[in-house]
Chain A
Amino acid sequence: MTPLIEAIDLTKDYALPASWLGRRGPRRLRAVDGVDFAIAPGRTLALVGESGSGKSTVARLLVGLETPTRGSVRLDSVNVAGTGASRIPRGRMQMVFQDPYASLNPRWTVGEIVAEPLRELGLLRGAAAVDARVAELLAAVQLAAGDAERWPHQFSGGQRQRISIARALATEPSFLVCDEPTSALDVSVQAQVLNLVKDLQRRRGLTCLLISHNLAVVHHMSDRVGVMLAGRIVEMADRRDLFTRPAHPYTRALLDAVPDVRRARSSRDPLPGDAPGPLDAPAGCAFRLRCPHADARCATERPPLLEVRGTAVACHAVHEGRL
């Protein structure tokens, strides 16, 4: 099937200011480094990773909030990256942000917030048509039509996140990016929001990119999963494969570290050290300093992402059959 959206060799550099004494000159930080993926229509790809892995930058590149340094984003085979949001076909991509307290304007009513994309893109004419559409959108996220008159502060975190979702759906996007949509929410409310996103996705045939650090949420929501480390994808597989037989040692360690209510208390040894960010990743494989399987090759040569038994994995040990 032709993918709805593709990222090809997506790369993003940020310039860092030169150090005060100017001894080192300007440096650059490569937040995202040669990321490739494709998402088929109606499917969900999840990107997981720890802080500094570059997953949120990928999300921002995809919707045009950032311009890639290199590479492209194709929506229906048309390159839309490079010139900001203006080249993205109007309203076809939308985003739901992490913090439902920061992403809604406190001085606007809920109705104004949800109607904004409609007005901005001139999709509907006449106040009555806009009001009717807002009511329909609020109903879709299980809020009352009367809530349009109320203000964001009158809603709980979960309700606010539903308002963000209604706003994102206003332009009938075909592609929705959710960046940590429930990490600011309590568990009972998280379940409400996750169920809602799943229902909407099924009913509207939405294609989704889910960014999350929570592996359990990813397990519940996605069809395919990419694991990011220091700006690169180190493993990409169908969800079931990734969770039942993770290939990359980093993926294994991550899965092992998740505290789970349905798993017995374990005395396993946690992975030593911290996940490297883009500035302190070592040469060669970014994971090698924490990896029990690293050898001399891992220190010099960066492993490419290669297909091994249906899973794309960037690990010399796996490629060589050592693991």
Chain B
Amino acid sequence: MAEPLLQVQDLRVEFPARRGPRVAVDAVSFDIAPGEVLGVVGESGAGKSVTGAAVIGLLDAPGRITAGRILFDGRRIDDLPRAELRRLRGRQIGSIFQDPLTALNPLFTVGDQIVETMRAHLPLGRREARQRAIDLLAATGVPSAAQRFDQYPHQFSGGMRQRVVIALALAGEPRLVVADEPTTALDVSTQAQVLAVLRRLCRDHGTAVMLITHDLGVVAETCGRVAVMYAGRLVEIGPVAEVLDAPAHPYTRGLLDAVPTLAGERERLPQIEGTMPAPDALPAGCAFHPRCPRRMARCSVERPPLLAAGERRVACWLHVPEGPA
């Protein structure tokens, strides 16, 4: 396997609150290699967006990293001074958010915004940058890119705007893109187009992508590996084919079963009872044990570590044969 581009090691993110800190992300570790798409899935509040924000150094105040490290290309980036982090972001790390409208400035043409971002990061002249911006828009699937270059964001439909946002994220030719629910606000046929663009960019440019989503179908279509988060922790991570075909963690299994699909007939959807606990009300032991159909005595006492099982890692006592790890 190629040398990882991004390494997240034992990451812990806390939000101070009156009754002690709320731990939003705890002991999360994963790598992403160049050209790889890692899916990060989980339900609202699982910590997936906070993890993404930590990677790009844009944690909402007062949240902060209280343990662990983030390495980019072997270099530590979680403790960089603001100015240096800014340079890294945009140049080396691009980001795409759910709502394309908030990411674009309504007062400038789409082309100006891309050119400005490019010239902030790359040594390019005006004319050269313009040509590259048009090429980039075309590459993300914006038709008649040269004409649309001079239009304003409100003149674009939702799907086209999200392509502009992708073009903007790629303007500095980043080596890593963090995409947080990039297609959630889009219609299915538009979503398929945008995902195809992301896949192609990865393949052609070797860009690494961290794709945060709640949609397991999107993961199945787009990602090579997937990390499943629950209550701020990783419960399972591994190759998509393995994890989705034969989930090892009961939460992954439950999530997969609960999704209605176009294949097969089921009278009822198997449901996971209850809801995910809030970060300040985590149960002892495994955070999933109160909802787990396969819980054992040990699960309510001891927290399972994330242990390797073949090509994947799983945090569940079912997969630890005997004794303490």
Contact = CB atoms under 8 A, between A and B. Distances in A.
A195 B268 contact: yes
Interface in A213-255: 213-217, 219-221, 243, 253-255
B189 A243 contact: no
Q: Which of B192, B260, B261, B273 has the most CB of A within 10 A?
A: B260
B187 A275 contact: yes
A29 interface: no
A89 interface: no
B258 interface: yes
Interface in B209-226: 214-222
Interface residues of B, number: 45
A56 B191 CA distance: 21
B217 A270 contact: no
A270 B258 contact: no
Contacts of B206: none
A183 to B, nearest CB: 10
B218 A259 contact: yes
A159 B244 CA distance: 28
B262 A216 contact: yes
B294 to A, nearest CB: 16
Interface string A65-92: 0000000000000000000000000000
B263 interface: yes
Interface residues of A, number: 44
| Max chain B Cβ within 10 angstroms of own Cβ: one of A51, A190, A265 | A265
A102 interface: no
Contacts of A275: 187, 189-190
A259 B44 contact: no
B192 A270 contact: yes
B255 interface: yes
Interface string B160-200: 10000000000000000000000000011111110110000
A41 B255 CA distance: 33
A257 B192 contact: yes
A284 B219 CA distance: 38
A198 interface: yes
B75 interface: no
Contacts of B263: 260, 262-263
Nearest to B196: A270
Contacts of B267: 198
Contacts of B276: 186
Contact of B189 (A190, A216, A257, A260): A257
B308 interface: no
Nearest to B254: A188
B271 interface: yes
A154 interface: no
B147 interface: no
B47 interface: no
B187 A51 contact: yes
A257 B183 CA distance: 13
B221 A259 contact: yes
A155 to B, nearest CB: 10
Given A195-B269, A261-B217, A274-B159, A243 B262 contact: yes
Contact of B260 (A217, A265, A272): A217
A158 interface: yes
B19 interface: no
Contacts of B273: 192
Contacts of A190: 258, 260
Interface string B252-286: 00111011111110111111110110000000000
Contact of A220 (B159, B215, B216, B266): B266
B43 interface: yes
B258 A259 contact: no
A260 B262 contact: yes
A187 B184 CA distance: 14
Given A215-B262, A216-B261, A192 B271 contact: yes
B289 to A, nearest CB: 15
A213 B216 contact: no
B255 A187 contact: yes
A259 B260 contact: no
Given A258-B188, A259-B217, A271-B192, A188 B262 contact: no
A144 interface: no
A318 interface: no
Contacts of A99: none
Nearest to B267: A198
A259 B269 contact: no
A50 B188 contact: yes
A188 B274 CA distance: 9
A191 B258 contact: yes
Interface in A261-289: 261-263, 265-266, 269-272, 274-275
B218 A270 contact: no
Interface of B: 43-44, 157-160, 187-193, 195-196, 214-222, 244, 254-256, 258-264, 266-273, 275-276
What are the 6 tightest A-B residue pairs by CB atom distance, in nearest-first order?
A259-B217, A270-B192, A191-B258, A186-B43, A50-B187, A220-B260
Given A186-B43, A187-B258, A243-B262, 4 more contacts: A188-B43, A188-B271, A270-B193, A275-B187
6 contacts: A50-B189, A198-B268, A219-B260, A261-B244, A263-B262, A274-B187
